[in-house]
Structure 1
Amino acid sequence: MRELTDFLRFILPHATACPDPTAEDALLSAAREFCEATRCWRETDSFKVKGHDVEVVCVPHSAVLFEIEKASFDGRDLDRVSFADARFDRDGPPRQITQTQPNAVRLAPAGPGTLSISMFLKPALDADVLPYFLFDQWGETLASGALARILVIPDQPFSNPQLAGYHAGIFQSAKDRNFNASVRGQQRAPRRSRSRYL
């Protein structure tokens, strides 16, 4: 993980009088927005669960769960359902996954075994670190997202709405260009389209 301060080299030359905490807050907001728009932060993990486990916390420190991509239990795919539609009263192994609170999942029905989950994450509001890949691949892009926020703060020595607009355009273009970046990855796998039936 990289400290938020590591990203300041991309931000502060364009907003020289900006206090570090202001720059870090803007960077964190930009990183959260970028991760939501691109689904670039994917984590996969497996957990041993006991039959009486109520909830399984499934996200690393400094992150929050944005979306579950896929979940399976002992190799069998689980249906993702709302809590109201979960069937906790069934017999047999878990067939569904749901949530009662953010960052944790619950199986329906409960049962012992191995839960495997693929999920998209974004930085937590109080994160002080970001994943290495965000720095290496999109450090300057996230800086533009931060600058778009910083430079529109009124009545500051670094205020520059025109330059803010320029950086907002760079950031928006990067979000559009990398939309669903995790689907294709660097291996450039073709995107599959799935038939939908009404």
Structure 2
Amino acid sequence: MPMTGLSAFRPRVAMLAPTATDPMIDQAVLDACIDFCERTLVVKRMLTPFPTVADTAVYAPAAPADESVAHIMRVWCDVTELDPLDEEGIGSPFGFVTTVAGQTNTPGRPRYFNETDPGSISLFPRPDAVYTINARVALRPLRSATTVDSQLFEDWVEGITSGALARLYAVPGDLLNAPLAKYHAENYMASVHRALLQAPKGRVRSQGRVTPIHI
């Protein structure tokens, strides 16, 4: 997927924080991008499909370069979508361990999934054969990233800029300015709220339909 360098945000941030150095700006932008992605789950992608291994329940699918998995959204086993299962819904210890003394952990075709560890997919029951797993996930930049998903720049540059400025204006020193930090933090959260409204529907606007009644 298209990626944009952190330096692309610099002119907008530097215009309002001229004493900030490039490394300071890049760090503030990166932190804002990570927080934005974690709050909104706006960057969603299908990961590369991967095969299961018989008797293996937990998988850690690879994310694209400079990114990590923020949240597992949906999972398919072959073409069948699996039901998500939260931790409270796991009624068996086999959801967390592979063996229990005196008990049998019977494998089968997976029907549920859980994210027991960040970015990892646990399948229940554990696979009894080779299946193809597809996963739709929300992504976030790595802490070491030098690029971010271009969507963050093209669609949310104003919000990310405000998020970066809110951080810079909270740093003790020449940039410290509590009123401006508060102002940009509020602008940033307004962008977060707009993204949250968009995220569930994506970019498609459904048309309401009324079934005609013939009289």
TM-score range, shorter chain: 0.7 to 0.9
Q: Report the aligned-residue RMSD.
A: 2.3
Deviations, residues 115-140 of structure 1 (Å, cap 9, x unaligned) = 11111111121111101111111112
Show the counterpart of 1:75.
Answer: 79
Show the counterpart of 1:130.
Answer: 148
Q: Which amino acid aligns with 1:16?
A: P
Show the counterpart of 1:86.
Answer: 95
Tell me how far 1:56 sits from its aligned partner: 3.5
Query: Alignment partner of 2:47: what SS?
Result: strand
Tell me how far 1:100 sits from its aligned partner: 5.1
Moved more, 54-63 or 40-49: 54-63
- Runs of 5+ in structure 2 lacking a partner? 99-104, 208-215
Q: Which amino acid aligns with 1:62?
A: D
Do the aligned partners of 2:78 and 2:133 also contact (CA within 8 Å) in 1?
yes
Query: Which 4+ residue blocks in structure 1 deviate beyond 6 angstroms?
Result: none
Q: What does residue range 11-22 of structure 1 map to in structure 2 within 5 Å?
A: 11-22=13-24
Tell me how far 1:154 sits from its aligned partner: 1.7
Separation in 1 of the partners of 2:39 and 2:117?
22
Do the aligned partners of 2:166 and 2:182 also contact (CA within 8 Å) in 1?
yes
- Runs of 5+ in structure 1 lacking a partner? 191-198
Matched, 1:184 2:188: no
1:56–1:159 distance in 2 versus 1, CA, 3 Å = closer
Tell me how far 1:182 sits from its aligned partner: 2.1
Tell me how far 1:144 sits from its aligned partner: 0.5
Deviations, residues 24-60 of structure 1 (Å, cap 9, x unaligned) = 1111111112112222110113423142455242422
Q: Which amino acid aligns with 1:72?
A: W
Q: Which amino acid aligns with 1:126?
A: S
**Matched residue count:** 189
Show the counterpart of 2:187.
Answer: 170
Moved more, 133-142 or 38-47: 38-47
Show the counterpart of 1:105.
Answer: 121
Separation in 2 of the partners of 1:124 and 1:31?
10
Query: Alignment partner of 1:70: what SS?
Result: strand
Show the counterpart of 1:31.
Answer: 33
Between the two proteins, what is the percent identity of the paired residues? 26
